[in-house]
Amino acid sequence: MPEMIKGAPVARHADIVGYGRMGRALSGSLARAGFRVRVWTPSLRGREAEGIELCEGPIPPGFPSGEFVFLAVSDRAIPTVARSLSVREGQIVAHLSGAAGLDVLEAAAACGAEIGSLHPLVSVPPGASELSPCHAAVDGTETARRALEDLARALGLRPFFVPPEMRGLYHAAASLAANGLVALSSLAARLFERLGVARPEAVEALVPLLGSAVDALRSRGLPAALTGPVARGDAETVRRHLQVLESTDAEAAYRALMLEALALSRELGEASAEALDAIATLLKS
C-alpha cells in the first residue's frame, strides 16, 4: 500500500478592501491568526506590512478570492465598494462599520454572498499593527454571523450580537463612551487653561486621573467605581462647582453628568437620601 504523504495545512484566506487604521489592524490580527491576507487599496501612500500581500491601484485580477471579504472603508463608501467587487456565492462579505446595517451590502447579497458586519469595539490608534483584545459587535445572515463569531474568537475578540434595529443605539452608546470621553476631557482642559495651564500640560495632568477612573470601572464596575462629591453626598461642593461653572460651556455638561452620577450614588447607597435630594435640587435648579 503506497505511503500517504501529508501536505502542509492550507492557510485560510481573507481579503480586505482598505488599509486605514482598522484595515491595517485587522490585517495584522488575521495574519497572526494564520490567515493568508491580501489587502487592496487605491493608494498605499508608502505604507508597508510584513506577512501581508498589499495591492494598490486598480482592483487586481481575481480579487476578492478569500473566504472572508472585509470592507474596511468609510460608511458612505460601503455600498459603492460592494457594487464594484465581483464576489461569488458562499463568500462571507462583511463591513466593519458600527453604525451601518446590512442593507449597504445588498449588491454582494445579490451575487450570492453571505453578508455580515464585524465591529471591534475599540479605538484603533494610528500605526496599530493588530487589534487590541475587545468586544466586537456582530450581525449577518445565519451563516455569516456564525462564521464571524468564530473568527472574532480566533482573533482574541469577544463577539456579541447587535440586531439591525438596534444598530443606531449601539453606535450612539459607543460614541458617547469613547468620543464623549475625549470631548469631556477637552472641556476640562479648557477650564484648566483658565488656571494658566496650557492645553498639552492639562491633558498630561488629566490622563492619569482618567486612567484611574477607567481602572476603577474595570475592577469594580458600576456603581462602585463612582467617587467624588456626589458619591459622598457633598451638596456644598456641588453648589460651589455650579457657582464657578455658571454661564460656561461646561455647565450644561456638568449638570447632565452629575444627574447620572446622582442615580449611581443612590444605587451605591453610601450617602443619605437627604443629602442626595439636596444635590438633585441644586442640579435641577
Residue linked to cell 491576507:
37
pLDDT at 50: 66
Taking residues 253-257, report their average pLDDT.
98
Tell me how far apart the alpha carbons of residues 105 and 174 are, in angstroms, rounded to a whole number: 23
pLDDT at 55: 86
pLDDT score of 69 more than 90: yes
- Which cell goes with 51? 506577512
pLDDT score of 214 more than 90: yes
Q: What is the DSSP letter of 20?
A: S
Burial class, 134, CB count within 10 angstroms (exposed 0-12 / middle 13-18 / buried 19+): middle
pLDDT score of 186 more than 60: yes
Tell me how far apart the alpha carbons of residues 87 and 110 are, in angstroms, rounded to a whole number: 10
pLDDT score of 4 more than 70: no
pLDDT score of 102 more than 70: yes
Taking residues 55-78, report their average pLDDT.
93
Residue pair 117/97 in contact by the 8 Å Cβ criterion? yes
Written as one letter, the residue type at 86 is: S
Buried/exposed 67-85: b ≥16 CB within 10 Å, e otherwise: ebbbbbbeeeebbebbeeb
Percent of the chain with pLDDT over 70: 93
pLDDT score of 49 more than 70: no
pLDDT score of 2 more than 70: no
pLDDT at 54: 85
The mean pLDDT of the chain is 93
As beta bridge partners, residue 92 has 68, 114
Please, which pLDDT band fits residue 127 given cuts at 50, 70 and 90?
confident
Strand order in the sheet with 36-41: 53-56, 36-41, 13-17, 68-71, 92-95, 114-120, 135-140, 158-161
Q: What is the pTM of this model?
A: 0.88
Residue pair 225/260 in contact by the 8 Å Cβ criterion? no
Please, which pLDDT band fits residue 140 given cuts at 50, 70 and 90?
very high
Please, which pLDDT band fits residue 67 given cuts at 50, 70 and 90?
very high
More confident residue, 83 or 43: 83
Taking residues 142-170, report their average pLDDT.
96
More confident residue, 213 or 54: 213
Residue 231 has, within 13 A of its CA and on its CB side, a CA count of 8
Tell me how far apart the alpha carbons of residues 49 and 52 are, in angstroms, rounded to a whole number: 6
Taking residues 53-80, report their average pLDDT.
92
More confident residue, 46 or 159: 159
Residue 162 has, within 13 A of its CA and on its CB side, a CA count of 27
Residue linked to cell 456638568:
254
Please, which pLDDT band fits residue 251 given cuts at 50, 70 and 90?
very high
Tell me how far apart the alpha carbons of residues 37 and 116 are, in angstroms, rounded to a whole number: 19
